[in-house]
A and B are shown apart, each in its own frame.
Chain A
Amino acid sequence: MKYVLLLIPCICALAAPYYNVIEPRAFGFPFFYWFNLALIPVSMAFIYVAGKVGGDQ
């Protein structure tokens, strides 16, 4: 479970062929840019939960 949680943000980061587009925009940011930036806090959440689930090992 821990590994799956850590893998999800990585797969998103590697999905360049899918996020390499301009639309839809958010706050003027093309999709390529806001998706990447938004992925950072999302990855933090996944790592946090992975730590909770995985305990200290």
Chain B
Amino acid sequence: MNVVATSVFIFFFLLVTVLGFWASRWKAGDLNSLHQWGLGGRQFGPWVTWFLIGGDLYTAYTVIAVPGLVYALGAYGFFAVPYTVLMYPLAFLLMPRFWNVCAKHGYVTAGDFVLGRFGSKWLELAVSVTGILATMPYIALQLLGMEIVIRGLGFQGEGLMAHVPLTIAFVILALYTYSAGLRAPAVIAFVKDIMVYVFVIAAVVYIPYQLGGFGSMFDGAGKVFEGMVAAGAAANPPKVVSAGLTLTQSQIWPFLTLAVGSTLALFMYPHSLTGVLSANGPKTIRFNMTMLPLYSLILGLIALFGLMGRAAGLDLKNTGDVVPQLFLKFFPDWFVGFSFAAIAIAALVPAAMMSIGAANTFTRNIWRPFVNAQMTDKQESDMAKLISLVVKVGALLIIVGVQTQFALNFQLLGGIIMLQIFPALCFGLFTRKVHGQPLLIGWAVGMVLSLVLIWISRTPAGAIVPMWSSPLGIGLYIGVVTVAANALVSYVLSLVMPNVGTDETMATDYLDAKL
């Protein structure tokens, strides 16, 4: 075990633990109401929201997986950059309207909005179950990110012992989320972001300098990719390797549709909406949709770590190890400890937000309408606290008890099904022409079609490939195909079916309140 790195790592971890428990006193409110525990009292100003949503969307898993994909395939992994460029113009249009209507009617989740807007309990259930199912593997992958850096510290263990550090970290996280609710990740996000900025900028300056400048870093990585392609072609039987500094022709459509699909899905996740709703007003949200792309710049630089790994000659079996291995190769132990701590803390913020988002959704949109309609505020927040624990234990069991591949497959599936609530939210916010029952049918069509396309596209070994080889001869991201079918069905059926739902919102509820 690397003693210096581990000590620095533990120091920072303890620091955020103290902050997490202190958070319950910050901007104090009555934590026995879901509005306070689960949304932080809808009072976060522009900068707190910036750190919170930034910490929420740009996760530890992103820091590990995006460079891993760039390391494996080159330019294709860079889809994360156009993806995040597309995301904010869209969110700039949608999210202020969403905040306004939710604040007006006291909605806490997407399910609340759908119930109020379309008057359909079943559509509310569909939206909520989709959100929870998609969030579970996402939390598990945050743990996986944390485990990768703990492994990088040199911690070795056999069997269940191997998961002891992760379990400890997670129990701590669970406890302070339980006591402080959304205030905990909001406070920790400050520390996390500053640490991430420091380590990324240091690494992006120092490592290419060691490799002879950016030009030779790119050239070096390009040569390695050419070698991989040549080796694939020379193999018997020949294997087509699609990797390089630019996209191959066959990668262009998958690259674009993956970027678009990821964009449409991101703000549908319960944790993203929780982050948006905790802001103190639509102006704060517009400010954030303008300023959040700064994180994308950092993400773009993080993606370059994958190329640096190739240029530095790292030969890794597990592509997810590229960031830890790169840092171990180039940096002194204390800085390795600092960087790994930043990544581990970057797992805590979204893991807390995701479990809160899932817990809010379960309590408001599954338990209350279907089990106990007469919950008091206190019962509601107690239930949400309990569910946040259950969700985290579930995620931990996925990582400890099941193969990693299962979590990865489940996550890919989650991204595709998360897209299926986009029509309900987007039509709901912008038009009165589309109503509840057609949206529910559209959702069902989207879900079934997604499962069918995933089934026919799977690899012989059973791994999920989110791309469908369409009859047009191009590969398309399955989520984009199925959400298009979903939206079309919803729209067309709305023209022919009668509107049976009641809408409790009015057109002015979506606009900024006049002061």
Tell me if B511 and A25 are in contact (CB < 8 A): no
B contacts with A, residue count (CB < 8 A): 41
In the complex where A40-B85, A47-B89 touch, is A28 in contact with B512 (Cβ < 8 A)? no
Tell me if A40 and B246 are in contact (CB < 8 A): no
Tell me if A28 and B214 are in contact (CB < 8 A): yes
- Complex: A13 Cα to B301 Cα, angstroms: 17
- Is A53 interfacial (CB-CB < 8 Å)? no
Question: Which of these, B89, B294, B511, contacts A9 with CB under 8 Å?
Answer: B89
Tell me if A14 and B89 are in contact (CB < 8 A): no
- Complex: A25 Cα to B512 Cα, angstroms: 45
Tell me if A48 and B81 are in contact (CB < 8 A): no
- Complex: A50 Cα to B90 Cα, angstroms: 12
Chain A interface: which of B22-30, B285-293, B412-420? B285-293
Q: Which has the most chain B C-beta neighbours within 10 Å: A21, A29, A37? A: A37
Residues of A within 8 A of B84 (CB): 40
Interface flags, B79-93, vs A, CB<8A=1, else 0: 001101110111011
Tell me if B88 and A47 are in contact (CB < 8 A): yes
Question: Which of these, B88, B217, B300, B511, contacts A36 with CB under 8 Å?
Answer: B300
Distance to closest chain A CB from B224 (angstroms): 15
Distance to closest chain B CB from A3 (angstroms): 8
- In B69-87, the 8 Å CB interface with A consists of 75, 78, 81-82, 84-86
- In A6-57, the 8 Å CB interface with B consists of 6-7, 9-10, 12-14, 16-17, 20-22, 25, 27-30, 32-33, 36-37, 39-41, 43-44, 46-48, 50-51, 56-57
Tell me if B290 and A44 are in contact (CB < 8 A): yes
Distance to closest chain B CB from A24 (angstroms): 13
Distance to closest chain A CB from B73 (angstroms): 13
Interface flags, B274-294, vs A, CB<8A=1, else 0: 000000001100100111011
Tell me if A28 and B213 are in contact (CB < 8 A): yes
Tell me if B85 and A13 are in contact (CB < 8 A): yes
- Complex: A10 Cα to B218 Cα, angstroms: 26
Tell me if B290 and A10 are in contact (CB < 8 A): no
- Complex: A13 Cα to B263 Cα, angstroms: 12
- Complex: A13 Cα to B437 Cα, angstroms: 35
Tell me if B75 and A43 are in contact (CB < 8 A): no
Consensus secondary structure, chain B interface? helix
Distance to closest chain A CB from B88 (angstroms): 6
- Complex: A46 Cα to B93 Cα, angstroms: 13
- Complex: A16 Cα to B301 Cα, angstroms: 19
Tell me if B252 and A20 are in contact (CB < 8 A): yes
6 smallest CB-CB distances across A and B, nearest first, come from A28-B215, A28-B214, A6-B89, A13-B82, A13-B85, A36-B81
Q: List 15 A-B contacts (CB under 8 A).
A: A10-B85, A13-B81, A13-B259, A32-B78, A36-B82, A37-B300, A39-B82, A40-B85, A40-B297, A41-B293, A43-B85, A44-B291, A47-B89, A47-B290, A57-B512
Binding site for B on A (CB under 8 A): 6-7, 9-10, 12-14, 16-17, 20-22, 25, 27-30, 32-33, 36-37, 39-41, 43-44, 46-48, 50-51, 56-57
- A-B contacts besides A10-B89, A39-B85, 19 pairs, CB < 8 Å: A6-B92, A9-B85, A10-B86, A13-B81, A14-B260, A16-B255, A20-B252, A27-B214, A28-B213, A28-B215, A32-B75, A33-B78, A33-B304, A37-B301, A40-B84, A41-B293, A44-B293, A50-B92, A56-B511
